Amino acid sequence: MSSPIRNEDFMVRGDKILARNDTTGFYFPARFLKILDSKYAKIKFEDGTKKTISFTNIIKQKEFYHFLTPGDHVIAKVMIEVNNIGIPCWVPGVTQSIRTNTPNCTHSKSYIILYFNGQEGENTRLELLKISSKQYGFIVGYIRSLLGDEVAKEPNQVLALPDMNEIKRDIAVQLNNHLNSLKIEEKYDKIFDEFSSLKKSQDKLKNEIDRKFKSIHNDFKECKNEKLPIIMPYSNTIVFVNESPKNEPIELSDIKKGAEVLARWPDDGWYYRSIVREYLGNNQYLVEDSLKDCETFNREDLISDINEPLKKFEIGDCVVALHPNFEFSYAPGEIIQISSDKKSYKVKFYNSSNAYVKSDGIFKIPRFKYETVVATISNLEKKWIGKEVIARNNLRRIYESGKVIGQENLSRKYTIEWRNGDPTGQDINHIFAPKEEIYLPGKIIKTEGNKFTIRFCDGSIDENVKEKYCFLLSKIYYEDAKQFCRGKLETDQ
């Protein structure tokens, strides 16, 4: 059997991967460390185990997820029990059908999966990675080769392995018969017809809206050019003065589905790299960020063509620029100096901090938009003052409740008064809305309804944590918070 195509050329240190466990043939989350030679690489599993492994036994995890169709080969996330603790792993399977009563976001859809051993289960899109038919055959072939006494004696696995008689069946014939029973082609024809009809109606509606908008726009231009009469100022009389608006209306281009943009998120008013998932009509777009959160945005709050060839900037231009102190975050500012090679520019950000930013991290905006964004950010920052929050206490090295009593020099740093009365400063990215008294970073190892079993960074396990008392963290911030809290634990010991 041919092996999967190697993808070492596309992996760098720290990349998220799935790596095969040679004992079970299942795949587990790991991190790519380095390339040893043309066939082998060094990796590190989540439990800290380092291993030399062949590239054929590595699957790179992808950041964005495409739509799956019935019949696609996938590797699916399931849970196995070891010593009464649920541990996630990934096994091969084939997509059977799609749940129709799920949200519109691709990553939230649910799929019925036929696992390699004949069992059926349900997975969301985030729990599936598409693989080729060759990779599927390679993985299944290896698992089948392990089905001896040692593997068969595993008593605690939720995902039961098939016996030898089931394995001898022809997997390809079984899948073919199952797909035929679903009458996929007939369903596709029906869905395609309905989609085509819906798209025609949407196109007709969009054309009608565009036509009316152009008509109104032309009327507005004609009205703007007309001189309004000046009325003599008597008592209680309003005086109309002829004055042209400072900012002409700007026509914004449509954005295609899947395009990368800078989106101004409403929680802090800053811009972040995001992906357009759907056009909702009336200049509204459904946008997804790197944490898979979805939000509806007006077109004017999206900056498109961010990967197009760069334009030249001049001193005094209003821009949105990558802030050097906050990772992947873009803030409004003005160009105040240009380097001699014109490859970097000195930006004065809205809070008076200055920094040089490379040209590929700068995007020009109109001055009226700059003033609007700055006003919005200032109002959002002031709302923190007087609020009860959960924040990182640098003195005690834990996260606990406190009260924001001031903002330091119009920056994103605030003064927090703790429960013992001591005030200290803290950056906004370490401050959260309150839910409980003390928080620690941890990982979800089992779910049951709206309750989680969580293993905390100090090694303790809580089997009854409610969802409303949890904050979703990125992988990078989780690692930072874990190291931060472990410093406290080592000091106490």
Q: Which residues contact 283 (CB under 8 A, 6 or more apart)?
A: 252, 298, 299, 300
Structural contact between residues 393 and 399, judged by C-beta atoms closer than 8 angstroms: yes
Least confident of 73-87, 316-330, 391-405, 427-441: 427-441
pLDDT score of 147: 74
- For residues 338, 340, 342, 345, the Cα torsion angle rounded to the nearest 10 degrees is -30
Residue 18: enclosing H or E segment and its boundaries? strand 16-20
- The mean per-residue pLDDT over the stretch 17-28 comes to 91
- Cα(187)–Cα(198) distance, integer angstroms: 17
Average pLDDT score, the chain: 78
pTM of the full predicted structure?
A: 0.40
DSSP character string of 350-415: TTS-EEEEEGGGEEE--HHHHHHHHHHHHHHHHTTTT-EEEEEETTTTEEEEEEEEEESTTSSEEE
Locate tokens 């993808």: which residue?
Answer: 7
- Cα(85)–Cα(155) distance, integer angstroms: 13
Nearest one of 9, 105, 28 to 64, comparing CA atoms: 105
Burial of 87 (0-12, 13-18, 19+ CB in 10 A): middle
pLDDT score of 285: 93
Least confident of 137-146, 306-315, 461-470: 306-315
Reported as a pLDDT band with limits 50, 70 and 90, residue 395 is: confident
Domain boundaries, the chain: 8-182, 260-380, 388-492
Structural contact between residues 50 and 32, judged by C-beta atoms closer than 8 angstroms: no
| pLDDT tens digits for range 269-315 | 899 989 999 998 888 999 998 878 888 899 989 988 777 666 678 89
Distances in Å between the Cα of 91 and the Cα atoms of 126, 127, 452 are: 14, 11, 23
Nearest one of 394, 326, 383, 384 to 357, comparing CA atoms: 326
Count CB-CB contacts under 10 A for residue 110.
Answer: 17
Count CB-CB contacts under 10 A for residue 232.
Answer: 6
Ramachandran category for residue 283: left, alpha or beta (phi over 0 → left; psi -120 to 50 → alpha): left
Locate tokens 């309004």: which residue?
Answer: 228
- Cα(138)–Cα(56) distance, integer angstroms: 9
pLDDT at 168 over 50: no
pLDDT score of 177: 57
- Cα(163)–Cα(254) distance, integer angstroms: 56
The CATH code of domain 260-380 reads 2.30.30.140
pLDDT at 149 over 70: no
pLDDT score of 319: 92
Residue 74: enclosing H or E segment and its boundaries? strand 73-82
- Cα(467)–Cα(453) distance, integer angstroms: 10
Count CB-CB contacts under 10 A for residue 403.
Answer: 17
Structural contact between residues 66 and 106, judged by C-beta atoms closer than 8 angstroms: yes
| pLDDT tens digits for range 414-427 | 899 988 888 988 88
With a pLDDT cut of 90, the percent of the chain lying above it is 20
Nearest one of 489, 397, 472, 400 to 438, comparing CA atoms: 400
Structural contact between residues 299 and 293, judged by C-beta atoms closer than 8 angstroms: no
Locate tokens 């060094």: which residue?
Answer: 42
Least confident of 111-115, 227-231, 302-306, 482-486: 227-231
pLDDT score of 30: 93
Nearest one of 326, 374, 368, 322 to 345, comparing CA atoms: 322
DSSP character string of 307-355: TSPPPP--TT-EEEEE-TTSTT-EEEEEEEEE-TTSSEEEEEETTS-EE
pLDDT score of 8: 42
